Amino acid sequence: MDEILQLLSEDARLTCKQIAERIGRPEAEVQEIVAKLEKEKIIRRYKTVIDWERAGVEHVFGFIEVRCAPQRGVGFDAVAERIIEFPEVHSLYLMSGAYDFLVVVQGKTMREIAYFVAEKLAPLDHVVGTATHFVLRPYKVDGDIMVDRDEVKRLPVTP
Amino acid sequence: MAQTRPRVSRLVDALPPSGIRRFFELVEKMPEAISLGIGEPDFVTPWRVREAGIYSLERGHTHYTPNRGIRPLLEELARYLERRFGVSYDPETELMITVGGSEAIDIALRAVLQPGDGVLIPQPCFVSYLPCAVLAGGHAIAVRTSVEHDFQVQVEDLAQACDESSRVLLISYPSNPTGATMPRGNMEALIRFAAERDLLLISDEVYAELTYDGAHVSAAAVPGGRERTVLVGGFSKAWAMTGWRLGFAAGPADIIEAMVKVHSYALMCSPTTAQEAAIEALRACDDDVAQMRREYNQRRRVIVSRLNAMGLTCFEPKGAFYAFPSIANTGFTSEEFAQRLLEEEKVAVVPGTAFGECGEGFVRCSYATSMALIEEAMARMASFVARVAG
């Protein structure tokens, strides 16, 4: 199962037939395992890694530190559940350290993100402070290096 | 005018050029070809190892090291050999660091052979074994292995080839070019035979980490093996460090001492940067090695199943990164097959004959290349086979 997950995490377009050949199991067995992983939401969905900058699509990412006062009985969950509903929110993490939440926000412009923070995030009940950082250039995203490297050359035939 | 004497040693002059060389020149002129002829990893050395090399340079460690190698690396190597293969060596007297596994083979032969001694060499095998034996003053005795026995050398065949002069048995499992491995039982039989004939073993185990079916069995790890074996290994394959040129030898103190003597006159020491980087390879890269092994294994399954599906019978290679399919049913010799496949489909494989006469009827396909290229190469090869065999 781990090997199937790893293969799909690297290339979501692999067919069960290709996976079966690579791991040396029958195709039907792989189909069954993948179906089960999907049903159990271990595989949540299949995505594509896109270099938006190269595609010419303007995207701005903001990393926003949020400090808030936890609520009796529900801790941070109640605030988190409100934040995740905003479509601008790309990722949300509860953090250890100097602040409580790290909110990754995706917008078309910095202004859009600034507006979101000022109008939506900061005024939420129990949020006591925010600090916004904008991404200037992504170098590596979710394990994928986003900058071009020279091709590594090898001799064409070696013993 | 004085008579012109030959400028090149007769010994060297008589050596045949490597069977790979000719093919290299053909492929070199065809940059668009997909090459399954490459005997080195497509992976780049893990970053933490490269970083350790950079750090070594930054600190100005640019001088000679002791002949045998730097102490921390020798100690780390001793721990590694114990941990991975269950063989224990004294880092002070029984280990040395060499310039690639190739140097270890060369100096092991030079350190032990008397003029005219025979070296038993199971074939098909790595291209430098025979020349190294000859250059060390010995003579090579080729011993055939066959696909019927999964390219594992048989004691009966060795017994037949072994004569009074025979002094060394040079084996390599997992094997380049066949991908064969040697199971424990057969390795034990081999060691018993070596003991009976008082042969010294040189065991090139540079592909040990790339074993896909069961654990690697070192010649030094079976009963009676350790005292008569020079175990050769290297960083090139498992850690993707070919260009760093770093290998090692482990063996009885008297032989290692003799090898260090040759090494000290020929090379002084192995590259300092590479030695310092290799400490990191042994200490912290088990996961990187496991990840590369997993990928090679996936490619191995794909290439073997595709070769068999196109009608080129391929025995299951259990180690290294080569498949060695039979091309007998195409009616071509290995050379013809490789040449026509290159010309007609722009796919490079290496004729089996480059690794010994008994490689006739086979070609070596390296799967140390990306899955996408392997799949494309297999598709082209399948259409070639369908055309010529149909």
DSSP assignment of B169-200 equals EEE-SSPTTT-----HHHHHHHHHHHHHTTPE
CA distance B254 to chain A (A): 31
Give B236's contacts in chain A (Cβ within 8 Å).
none
B168 close to B200: Cβ distance less than 8 angstroms:
yes
Q: Do B24 and A3 touch (CB under 8 A)?
A: no
Residue A73 confidence (pLDDT): 81
Predicted complex ipTM? 0.89
- Name the one residue in this structure whose structure tokens are 């594992």: B152
B365 touches chain A (CB under 8 A): no
* Structural domains of chain A, ranges and CATH numbers in brackets: 2-39 (1.10.10), 53-137 (3.30.70.920)
| Banded pLDDT at B21 (limits 50, 70, 90) | confident
B126: left (phi over 0), alpha (psi -120 to 50) or beta: beta
Tell me which residue in B35, B44, B302 faces A22 most closely, judged by beta carbons. Answer: B302
- pLDDT band at residue B389, thresholds of 50, 70 and 90? confident
- Asked if the Cβ–Cβ distance from B18 to A155 is below 8 Å, we say no
* pLDDT tens per residue across span B188-207: 999 999 999 999 999 999 99
Chain A positions in Cβ-Cβ contact with residue B40 (cut-off 8 Å): 154, 158
Q: Is the pLDDT of residue B326 over 70?
A: yes
Q: Which pLDDT score is estimated for B17?
A: 86
In whole angstroms, give the CA distance from residue A125 to residue A154: 60
Q: Which among B24, B44, B302 has the least Cβ separation from residue A157?
A: B24
Cβ neighbours of B35 in A, within 8 Å: 156-157
Torsions phi, psi for B75 (to 5 deg)? -65, -40
Q: What is the spatial distance between Cα B80 and Cα B263, in angstroms, rounded to a whole number?
A: 23
The residue in chain A having the minimum alpha-carbon distance to the alpha carbon of residue B34 is A156
The per-residue pLDDT for A1 is 82
**Residue labelled with tokens 């941990």:** B83
**Residue among B294, B305, B348 whose CB faces A157 most closely:** B348
pLDDT reported for residue B173: 98
Which residue type sits at B370?
S
Please report the pLDDT score of residue B139 as a whole number.
Answer: 95
Domains (ranges, CATH) in chain B? 10-38+287-389 (3.90.1150.10), 47-284 (3.40.640.10)
**Residue B2 pLDDT greater than 80, yes or no:** no
| Chain A residue whose CA is closest to B30 | A156
Looking at residue B92, its pLDDT comes to: 98
Measured between CA atoms, the residue of chain B closest to residue A2 is B294
Q: How far is A26 from chain B (nearest CA, A)?
A: 12
What is the dihedral sign for C-alpha A87, A88, A93, A99?
negative
Contacts of A7 in chain B (CB under 8 A): 298
Q: What per-residue confidence (pLDDT) applies to B1?
A: 60
Render pLDDT for A83-131 as a digit per residue (tens, 0 to 9): 999 999 999 999 999 999 999 999 999 999 999 999 999 999 899 999 9
User: What is the pairing mode between strands B166-171 and B247-250?
Assistant: unpaired
Chain A residues contacting B, CB < 8 Å?
A: 3, 6-7, 21-24, 152, 154-159
Q: How far is CA B259 from the centre of its chain?
A: 19
Quick check: B390 pLDDT over 80? no
Nearest residue of A to residue B347 by CA position? A156
Residue B169, phi-psi category: left (phi > 0), alpha (psi -120 to 50), beta (remainder): beta
CB B189 within 8 A of CB B158: no
Q: Do B301 and A22 touch (CB under 8 A)?
A: yes
Using the beta-carbon criterion (under 8 Å), do B20 and A21 form an inter-chain contact?
Answer: no
Q: Are B13 and B6 in contact (CB under 8 A)?
A: yes
**pLDDT for B22:** 83
Chain B partners of A154 at a C-beta cutoff of 8 Å?
A: 38, 40, 42
Q: Is B123 helix (H, G, I), strand (E, B) or coil?
A: strand
Give the pLDDT band (50/70/90) at residue B87.
Answer: very high
Q: Using an 8 Å Cβ cutoff, are B169 and B199 in contact?
A: yes
Q: What is the pLDDT of residues B207-250, one digit of tens each?
A: 999 999 999 999 999 999 999 999 999 999 999 999 999 999 99
Average pLDDT, chain B: 96
Q: Stretch B80-86: mean pLDDT, rounded?
A: 97
Interface test with A, best of B24, B287, B298, B306 (most A CBs within 10 A): B298
Query: In this model, does residue B158 exceed pLDDT 70?
Result: yes
Contact between chains at A157 and B37 (C-beta distance less than 8 A): yes
Min Cα–Cα distance to chain A from B183, Å: 21
Q: Which of B36, B38, B335 to mutate to test the interface with A (most CBs of A within 10 A)?
A: B38
Q: What is the pLDDT of residues B165-193, one digit of tens each?
A: 999 999 999 999 999 999 999 999 999 99
Q: A17: which chain B residues are within 8 Å (Cβ-Cβ)?
A: none
Interchain CB distance below 8 Å, B301 and A159:
no
Q: Measured between alpha carbons, how far is residue B124 from residues B143, B144, B282, B298 in Å?
A: 9, 7, 30, 25
pTM of structure: 0.94
Across the interface, whether the CB atoms of B24 and A155 are under 8 A apart is answered yes
Please report residues of A whose CB lies closer than 8 A to that of B371. Answer: 22
Residue B4: how many other CB atoms lie within 10 Å: 6
Q: Which of B35, B206, B207 to mutate to test the interface with A (most CBs of A within 10 A)?
A: B35
pLDDT > 90? residue A70: no
Q: Report how far residue A52's alpha carbon sits from residue A144's, in angstroms, rounded to the nearest whole number.
A: 13
B353: pLDDT strictly greater than 90: yes
Model confidence pLDDT, tens digit, residues B243-296: 999 999 999 999 999 999 999 999 999 999 999 999 999 999 999 999 999 999
What DSSP string runs through A93-142?
EE-SSS-SEEEEEEESSHHHHHHHIIIIITTSTTEEEEEEEE-S--SEET
Chain B hits for A22, CB-CB cut-off 8 Å, are: 298-299, 301-302, 371
Q: Which residues of B touch A24 (CB under 8 A)?
A: 301
- pLDDT score of B161 more than 90: yes
